[in-house]
Structure 1
Amino acid sequence: MNCPNCGHGEAAAIGPYIGSHEIFRRMSLACCSRCELVFAQPQPSPAELADYYDHYWDGEVAVSTPSTRRYYLAQSLSRVDYLRRFGILDARPAVLDVGAGLGLFHDGLARRGFAHDYVAVETDREQLEGLRRRFGDTGAFRRLEDVPAERKFDLLALTHVLEHMDRPHDFVDGLMQRLRPGGLLFVEVPHRDYRYKALFESHLLFFNANSLGDLLGRHGKVLEVCTVGKEAAKLYVAHVHPKPDALRPLKELVKTGIALVTPDFDEKQIARYGMSSYGGDRQWLRAVVARKD
């Protein structure tokens, strides 16, 4: 199989693909010798992937628990804070959130005081129903192609979606056609998470900064590709893990000189609960891409 990004035919074998669903059990991982993209091969058929993503969140009760919702909202706030300096949020942008999940990117923008017009795309049927209850039938769609072609956007948010794509160039090309002049595409993906995840499912592409920049640079002007440090682990400790979460109120009550919970509380909890192994200090990649006008 040629590289899904650059088309190069030489790739080094890395090892088996670890997945539980039957469509992922026959695959292995390879690393392109040209662009450094790590990819799964042979990839599932489009029909198999479509059926899988119809029910992507089935049984994932944790995603709607208060602590997990706080965690995902904290992620969204982090992304909004990152995007501030690009100036795209200041003039009521039209936002298309692809892979919207619970719609928390909208909530993050609202929490930070940024007025915006929001449209969501989500393939999972249960999540889509929830989005339609919030934003109406004209504010939530199952596929990108379902969004009326005449609707254009100032900001496209693509968080933890690109790694699932079997045809990444077709997908990104379709996204860029939705941008208004001066608009931006924001992308966040895991940073080669096969190195530390127990299951790779359902990621098909595993990026580093070079391969992500190479792919996106074929469709627009890459303004930045950067790594995100231990931020995700800190967010998890702060909002999800039960023991640190239960101790957190103590931190607010501690007076100077009573070191029950010290200022490096989060760092110690990350080490104690093994969170530093989840991606280490380079867990996510972020990129911002402008149209080539």
Structure 2
Amino acid sequence: MDTLNHCPLCQGTHYRPFKTCQDHIVSGKSFDVVECERCGFRFTNPRPDPDDLGQYYESEDYTPHQETSQGLIDTLYRWVRLYTLRSKRRLIETLINTPPGRLLDFGCGTGEFLAHCRSHGWEACGLEPDAGAQEVATAAHGLTVEPPEHIHDLPSDRFDVITLWHVLEHIPKLSDTIAELRRTLAPTGTLVVAVPNCASLDAQYYGADWAAYDVPRHLYHFRPPDVRRLFDRHGMAVTDVRPMRLDAFYVSLLGEQSRNGWLLRAPVVAALSVLWNAAHGHRSSAQLYLIQYESPR
């Protein structure tokens, strides 16, 4: 196990216990989430060694890297994914003056979004650490997907848009990776970052059973101020924050499943979470951040 001796956000060296969460997907093991005493950032600590992390993705139950439906929740996930592909593309088309442009999908999984954007004229490439997902991207979509280390070989100032759809929370070398993403982003480009929000109402309701803790695959557990501080350290600013409303329903279904609870309670919790966000702001189960350079390069 890899024990961090400093906070990934502020470099603080003192933590307090926050929650102990179980891996409901692969190992059944429990992992500690701690909270930095200086800045309040929450992260999984200790966590598996980087070379061992891959084994925690090796399951037919890990839906984002699979192409076959295993039941009701997997089927719902795929319906939502098909629905959101178009909305994601339309979003990134609003971020540049003359779309389509150049796109990097970092953590592209099995390549659905990448293939969709290419079919609409985007010059798009993807990076993905999971070899199985890379193979699916090639077999299903004819894509050539490189591992994340390939980012060091990409040109500087290259991409109009870089997307990380529920990826940032998985990255072991967080600061180094953000620095490379910043380097490859065009001077007027935008990072699009989607992450779970552990300040949401559904996170409070499900507690340690909140599915988006997803230990040990999720190494970090973000709230809006955490994301702002993280990118501020790299000379970038959050220019907009948008709710991802559908995530609350999926995550709540998983929360009920892990508790052997009543699945029909999940949409009620999710709806309350959506309403809570509408009333208070920045409390969505997951949030989308648009991030740009603080000043022109």
* Range with greater deviation from structure 2 (168-177 or 88-97): 88-97
Deviations 1:112-136 (A, max 9, x none): xx53111111222222112224244
Percent of aligned positions that are identical: 21
Q: Which residue of 1 aligns with 2:288?
A: 286
Q: Which residue of 2 aligns with 1:200?
A: 214
Q: Which residue of 1 aligns with 2:16?
A: 12
* Partner Cα separation in structure 1 for residue 105 and residue 241 of structure 2: 21
* Partner Cα separation in structure 2 for residue 277 and residue 81 of structure 1: 29
User: Superposition pairs for residues 1-293 of structure 1, below 5 Å?
Assistant: 1-20=5-24, 21-22=26-27, 25=29, 27-49=31-53, 51-52=54-55, 55-56=57-58, 58=60, 60=62, 63-65=67-69, 68-85=77-94, 87-88=95-96, 90-106=98-114, 109=117, 114-133=120-139, 134-137=141-144, 140-145=145-150, 148-150=153-155, 152-192=158-198, 195=204, 196=206, 197-198=210-211, 200-201=214-215, 202-228=217-243, 230-233=245-248, 272-278=264-270, 280-281=273-274, 282-291=284-293, 293=297
* Partner Cα separation in structure 2 for residue 30 and residue 235 of structure 1: 25
Summarize the Cα distance change of 1:57–1:104 in structure 2 as closer, same or farther, 3 Å threshold. farther
Q: Is the 8 A contact 1:17 1:28 kept in 2?
A: yes
Measure how far apart 1:60 and its partner are.
4.7
Letter of the structure 2 residue corresponding to residue 169 of structure 1: S
* Structure of larger gyration radius: 1
Where in structure 1 are there 5+ consecutive unaligned residues? 241-270
Q: Structure 1 residue runs of 4+, over 6 Å off?
A: 234-237
Secondary structure of the residue that 1:100 maps to in structure 2? coil
* Partner Cα separation in structure 2 for residue 89 and residue 158 of structure 1: 21
Q: Which residue of 1 aligns with 2:260?
A: none
* Partner Cα separation in structure 2 for residue 40 and residue 234 of structure 1: 24
Summarize the Cα distance change of 1:289–1:115 in structure 2 as closer, same or farther, 3 Å threshold. same
Secondary structure of the residue that 1:203 maps to in structure 2? coil
Where in structure 2 are there 5+ consecutive unaligned residues? 70-74, 254-262, 275-283
Q: Is the 8 A contact 1:5 1:168 kept in 2?
A: no
* Partner Cα separation in structure 1 for residue 230 and residue 183 of structure 2: 16
Q: Which residue of 2 aligns with 1:244?
A: none
Measure how far apart 1:72 and its partner are.
1.0
Measure how far apart 1:162 and its partner are.
0.8
| TM-score normalised by L of structure 2 | 0.72
CA-atom RMSD, angstroms?
3.4
